[in-house]
Amino acid sequence: MSVTNPRPADIMAAMVDYILSQHPSRFTAETLPRDESLMELGVLDSAGVIEFIVFAETTWDIQISDDDITKDRMGSLEKMSTLVQEYLARKA
Amino acid sequence: MQLIDLLDYPALHYSPASTAGILDCSLRTGVLPHGQYAFALARDHAVYLARDPLGCNKLFFGRNSSGDVVVANRVARAWQCGVPLSAIGSCPPGHVLSVSGDGIRRITGQDVSDMAADPELNVGEFQRTVGAALNHAFKWLASEFEDCRFAVCLSGGLDSSVVASFAAEHLPGATAVSFTYLDDDDLRRHARGEPAHQLASASDDFRSAARVASALSMPFLPVVRSRQAVAGAVRSSVELSQDWRDFNVHCATVNLFLAQDMRAAFRDTRVVVLTGDLMNEFVCDYKEEHVGGSVYYRIPRVPSDRRRKYFVRGLDAGDREIGVFWNYSLIACQPFAVLAGYYMRVPARMLDQPDIKWELNSPLLASPVVPHVSRSKTRAQVGGKDQGTLGIYHQLDIGEEDLRRVWRDQFPGESASACDDLIQLGRYRIPSYVADQ
């Protein structure tokens, strides 16, 4: 995976790997929902969300703005992946 | 479009400026002054909203079915005035928004939590600057609230002891107030007149607080409760703290007891209650707690400067001090609010030092209190035998899901998700807005 120009599928795969390894739950790579809130599913608590944000910022060398730390922008893995892609596109 | 202004929390901004003056100044400079305030002004066919940089005072707003803009410090009041919960948003801390027929615009604003640290911070200069800022703030309080009685919530820890030290110097007659649970026998002894801090079941923090007050020659008001009192305080703690998350609700319970007894002790008097809040966020020294095999208040495992950013950012949501005290017409004052800009400069390498708060802040203490301050104290709701209020909630088996249900009960007819969505990722929901040029 290229950190500077990752494909959307690579971003999603990295996020899923992170969630499964750092926040174990009943889900597997196959069953972890991509379009639901991980907080509402009980996978992440409020501290876990912060850890996830810092993971994304560190992995892709981006700085997520406070304005984007909302359920609309980060409320699922798919939304989070889209957000990361937007930040990377702005960097390019 | 009319403005329905239900804002009633007192404003403290440490300057003689009017709200209109603060708004005009912020429009010129892009910066809002430190303090605790939230206000709304109708001007030029729009409603301008402004909120202090840390979000100490809450500012909810939304439009009712008539198109009026309703603003309130309490979300429940805006909702009772006809704004559906899903249409209520929060003005972000340190921002000015305008609401008009064209929608919501961000006029200006900056996030304190994004301020850059200073890798070369000079500790001596830092301490002098912080001391001067606190002296200015306390002089302003003495002048602005000349006719008021002052009280200091004293836990026995460093933060509240610093506040007490400045209060003793600048605010003559200020009373120290501290809380402890007592067992039934000791409650009877206390009712017969025995000093609470001499009773065996009083918490160590409470004893420290009594010693600090004595060292400062401050009158001491003990606030005591049985552990059974907590069950009856849960609903008020959730409603007044505008939160269901356990760390805020537990703290609100302690503040509720303090507020009840202060109001009873100082009847028919304007009272300013000073607290040592905010410093834990500034130096991010919170720790998670373990009770009966359960982990509470989990701390994010991220670098300390990132942790501080999110602690400070999270001050936006929850109203466990100002909201609780104001319900009893007590004016809560968090003097450390004036210091946010200084403490955000403390670099990560210093935050990582285990005793950094003591190193930075102990010079701010009045020298007689230094030997009496509890250096390990961090959370008011954990102090005491059996881990205080947290331990009692644990014994009562009242968890976050129970608190969430209490929260939802305030809004009959609203869906669970509409209630829960008010706090999103650590902040009150901010509605979509357009950034002004």
Q: Is the pLDDT of residue A2 over 50?
A: no
Do A70 and B113 make contact, defined as CB atoms within 8 angstroms? no
The alpha carbons of chain B give a radius of gyration, in whole angstroms, of: 21
Rounded CA-CA distance B1/B64 in Å is: 10
- Tokens representing residue B248 in the block: 């805020």
- Among B209-218, B261-270, B384-393, B407-416, name the one with the lowest average pLDDT: B384-393
Pairing of strands B69-72, B60-63: antiparallel
Do B424 and A47 make contact, defined as CB atoms within 8 angstroms? no
Average pLDDT over residues A22-40: 95
Question: Within 10 Å of residue B49's Cβ, how many Cβ atoms?
Answer: 28
Rounded CA-CA distance B252/B328 in Å is: 13
| Chain B contact for A58 (CB, 8 A cutoff) | no
Q: What is the pLDDT of residues A53-92, one digit of tens each?
A: 999 999 999 999 888 999 899 999 999 999 999 999 998 8
pLDDT at B158: 96
- Name the nearest CA neighbour of B386 among B394, B398, B376, B375: B394
- Tokens representing residue B292 in the block: 């009966």
Work out how many CB contacts closer than 8 A connect A with B: 44
> What's the mean per-residue pLDDT of chain B?
95
Closest residue on chain A to B307 (Cα): A50
List, in sequence order, the alpha helices (H) in B278-399.
279-282, 304-313, 322-326, 340-343, 348-351, 356-361, 388-395
* Chain B residue numbers touching A66 (CB-CB < 8 A): 92, 111, 113-114, 313
Question: Within 10 Å of residue A41's Cβ, how many Cβ atoms?
Answer: 14
Average pLDDT over residues B210-237: 97
pLDDT at B378: 63
Are B67 and B1 within 8 A, CB to CB? Answer: yes
| Chain B contact for A74 (CB, 8 A cutoff) | yes
Are B247 and B393 within 8 A, CB to CB? Answer: no
Residue B30 or residue A86, greater confidence: A86
pLDDT at B403: 98
- Tokens representing residue B71 in the block: 């603003």
Do A70 and B429 make contact, defined as CB atoms within 8 angstroms? yes
Nearest-5° angle of CA B265, CA B278, CA A75? Answer: 120
Rounded CA-CA distance B328/B268 in Å is: 11
Average pLDDT over residues B48-55: 97
- Tokens representing residue B133 in the block: 């800022």
| Chain A nearest CA to B343, separation (Å) | 20
Cα atoms in the Cβ-side hemisphere of radius 13 Å centred on B209: 32
pLDDT at A67: 84
Average pLDDT over residues B347-364: 96
* Nearest CB partner across the interface for B421, out of A51, A69, A71: A71
Residue B187 or residue A92, greater confidence: B187
Rounded CA-CA distance B430/A69 in Å is: 10
Q: Is the pLDDT of residue B384 over 70?
A: no
Question: Within 10 Å of residue B200's Cβ, how many Cβ atoms?
Answer: 10
- Among B255-259, B387-391, B408-412, name the one with the lowest average pLDDT: B387-391
* Chain A residue numbers touching B301 (CB-CB < 8 A): 47, 51
- Tokens representing residue A56 in the block: 């994304």
Do B426 and A69 make contact, defined as CB atoms within 8 angstroms? yes
* Nearest CB partner across the interface for A45, out of B298, B307, B429: B298
Nearest-5° angle of CA B196, CA B197, CA B200? Answer: 85
Closest residue on chain B to A64 (Cα): B114
Do A47 and B92 make contact, defined as CB atoms within 8 angstroms? no
Do A66 and B92 make contact, defined as CB atoms within 8 angstroms? yes
- Tokens representing residue B65 in the block: 């079915």
Write the single-letter amino acid at B433. Answer: Y
Coil vs helix vs strand at B302: coil
pLDDT at B434: 83
